Structures are given as C-alpha cells and as structure tokens.
Structure 1
Amino acid sequence: MIIYGLKNCDTCRKALRSLPDATLVDVRADGVPDDVMARAFAQFGAALLNTRSTTWRGLDSQERDQDPLALIAAHPALMKRPLIDADGTLYLGWTKDVAAQVTAL
C-alpha cells in the first residue's frame, strides 16, 4: 500500500499511523507517477485538486484556469491528500469512510 502525500501533513500522518505497513511517498520530493495521477484524475476528477489550500489561494485566476494535472505537477501541495493506492484501488482523503475501507483490507 502506498500513501501519496506530504510528510508534514497531519492527515497523511494519521493515515500512516493507521496503516503501519503502508509506505509514504512525499509528493514534493518524489512526485506521483504519471500513470497513477492519470488514474486518480479519471476517478476523482476536480476533487483531486485541493482548492482550500494556501497554495491555491496564492494562485491568480489565470493559473487556476490551467489543467488540474498540470497545476498539480507544478505545485504538488495542490493535490488533495492523502491519495492511497491499495493494490491498484485508489482512495482520496482520510475520512471515516475511507479509513474504514482501507483498514479493512
């Protein structure tokens, strides 16, 4: 199981504590493989973009209008976190529902 997120993100740390066998991939340092990002965007669409982040608020309207995948590639902190890859099945965020589904695996 792979958790794509930020090592200093509280939500990612909660997920990692609950999933001790998972590996955290820091999206700022290592990025997300293109195929994983394409699958995530196909599954979650615009929800993959964290529009509540400080990074998002710092963008001007022209930048916000760019393709979401290009925005995330340029600003990895814009990706909603964590993105969890559990044997090919993707989960986004760390809500009670996601936590229950992933910990049951």
Structure 2
Amino acid sequence: VFGESVSVNEGESVTLVTGLTEIQANDVLEWRFGAGNDRIAIINKPAGVTKTYDEVLGGNFKDRLKLDDKTGSLTIMNVRTTDSGYFEVSTTIAEDIRRHS
C-alpha cells in the first residue's frame, strides 16, 4: 500500500505491496522500517540475494517476515503493537559493473 495507513489487529498478518508485478533481473529492492530507517529486507537480483534481516531492532521481526521474491511484497506475520510505524520500499536498477585488470 503506497502512502496509505494500514490498520491491522494484533496477531494478524499484513502484506505491504510494492506495486510491481515482477522484479527485473537488474533490480535491487529494499524494505526499511522506523525512524532509524533500518533495513529489514532486500532483494538483490544481480547478486541472487533474497533476505530478511530478523536480527535488526533487537530481533523484533524474528521469524515473522516473508518476502515475495517475484513482486517484492513484504508480509509481516503475527503483527505486534511494536510493528507500528513507517515502512518504506525502494527499488533501484543495479548498474553493470565491469572490472578491468
């Protein structure tokens, strides 16, 4: 949901969408949360990485994040009151990096 407030009852799941139908081969997508803009998930297609960062924020999201590697949507399971806050998603296109020796 872009720029919208989402209300969820404690214990439910919520899916935050990117608006993308498919992440492209050169895309890097990051989800960030809270005032500290902490990274909680990333999809880096060029590097072949899809990862959630359960350890950030004292492990607040441990075992509760699910990242859709096709669309980049982020599902938060078993929502807690501490999950309230600002979530931001960004997508960039990775540049073709060439090394010369």
Q: What TM-score does the superposition give when structure 1 sets the normalisation length?
A: 0.24
Is the helix fraction higher in 1 or 2?
1
Is the strand fraction higher in 1 or 2?
2
Higher-Rg member (1/2): 2
Q: What TM-score does the superposition give when structure 2 sets the normalisation length?
A: 0.25
